[in-house]
């Protein structure tokens, strides 16, 4: 790779790393798995940087790569054998008091609510609201029509609005 492309790739990695990891977490990966998925995605970006950098919609192209990496890893025996019923401990980062506990409760409620969605609906919600892709970019990343993105979002948001985990946060009233 020539120095200009190398610099452009390095800038892209620095800019996109946090959102790729966050997207992978909201798509169902644990934090350390999300980092591995983001890294694998970025390695694939590096090997195909000419295609990635020349894509009409680079973000949609890269998030499609992330989804493909996630699908690939979920096909492995390792993923199927992992224990879902053992919660991963939350690392302590020096935050004490009710604010930290509240942040953890909110994060847990959001993860549980997202886990209750079907995979296609969760993918749309994560890419649209957490990654902040446009409807068109989300459609391109998932390989579906924009109208399907809208209908899945509508169903997913209705499901989330009635989710017990999120209702508990709001005091149980709608």
Task: Confirm whether 143 is domain-assigned.
Answer: yes
Domains of the chain: total:
2
Domain boundary among 82, 112, 134: 82
Task: Confirm whether 152 is domain-assigned.
Answer: yes
**pTM for the full model?**
0.65
DSSP string across the chain: --HHHHHHHHHHHHHHHHHHHHHHHHTT--HHHHHHHHHHHHHHHHHTHHHHHH-TTHHHHHHHHHHHHHHHHHTSHHHHHS-SSSPPPPPP-S--SHHHHHHHHHHHHHHHHHHTS-HHHHHHHIIIIIS---HHHHHHHHTS-HHHHHHHHHHHHHHHHT-HHHHHHTTS--
Are 2 and 78 in the same domain?
A: yes
Model confidence pLDDT, tens digit, residues 68-94:
888 888 777 555 555 543 444 444 444
Are 128 and 157 in the same domain?
A: yes
Task: Confirm whether 134 is domain-assigned.
Answer: yes
**For position 150, which CATH number holds?**
1.10.10.10
Q: Residue 168 — very low, low, confident or very high, per pLDDT cuts 50/70/90?
A: low
Are 102 and 78 in the same domain?
A: no
Are 37 and 60 in the same domain?
A: yes
**For position 15, which CATH number holds?**
1.10.1740.10
* Tokens standing for residue 128: 């649209």
pLDDT value at 95 more than 70: no
Are 4 and 72 in the same domain?
A: yes
Contact 18, 34 (CB under 8 A): no
Task: Confirm whether 33 is domain-assigned.
Answer: yes
Distance CA(173)–CA(137), nearest Å, equals 34
Mean pLDDT of 20-36: 88
Half-sphere exposure of 52 (CA within 13 A, CB side): 21
Q: What is the predicted pLDDT for the residue at 74?
A: 76
Are 73 and 106 in the same domain?
A: no
Q: What is the predicted pLDDT for the residue at 171?
A: 57
Q: Residue 13 — very low, low, confident or very high, per pLDDT cuts 50/70/90?
A: very high
Task: Confirm whether 88 is domain-assigned.
Answer: no
Domain boundary among 55, 82, 109: 82
Domain that includes residue 146, residue range: 96-174
* Tokens standing for residue 26: 């909201």
Are 155 and 101 in the same domain?
A: yes
Q: What is the predicted pLDDT for the residue at 77?
A: 59
Q: Bigger pLDDT: 80 or 41?
A: 41
pLDDT value at 17 more than 80: yes
For the chain, the average pLDDT equals 82
Are 9 and 39 in the same domain?
A: yes
* Tokens standing for residue 99: 């604010």
Domain boundary among 37, 52, 82: 82
């Amino acid at each position: 790779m020539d120095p200009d492309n190398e610099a452009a790739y390095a800038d892209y990695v620095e800019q996109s790393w946090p959102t790729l990891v966050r997207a992978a977490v909201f798509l169902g990966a644990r934090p350390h798995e999300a980092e591995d998925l983001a890294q694998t995605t970025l390695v694939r970006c590096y090997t195909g940087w000419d295609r990635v950098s020349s894509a009409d919609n680079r973000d949609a192209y890269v998030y499609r790569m992330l989804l493909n990496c996630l699908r690939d890893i979920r096909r492995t025996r390792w993923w199927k054998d992992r224990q879902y019923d053992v919660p991963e401990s939350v690392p302590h980062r020096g935050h004490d008091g009710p604010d930290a506990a509240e942040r953890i409760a909110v994060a847990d409620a959001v993860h549980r609510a997202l886990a209750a969605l079907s995979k296609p609906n969760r993918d749309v919600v994560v890419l649209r609201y957490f990654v902040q892709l446009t409807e068109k970019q989300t459609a391109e990343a998932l390989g579906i029509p924009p109208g399907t993105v809208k209908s899945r979002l509508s169903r997913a948001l209705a499901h989330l609005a009635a989710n017990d985990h999120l209702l508990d946060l709001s005091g149980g009233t709608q």
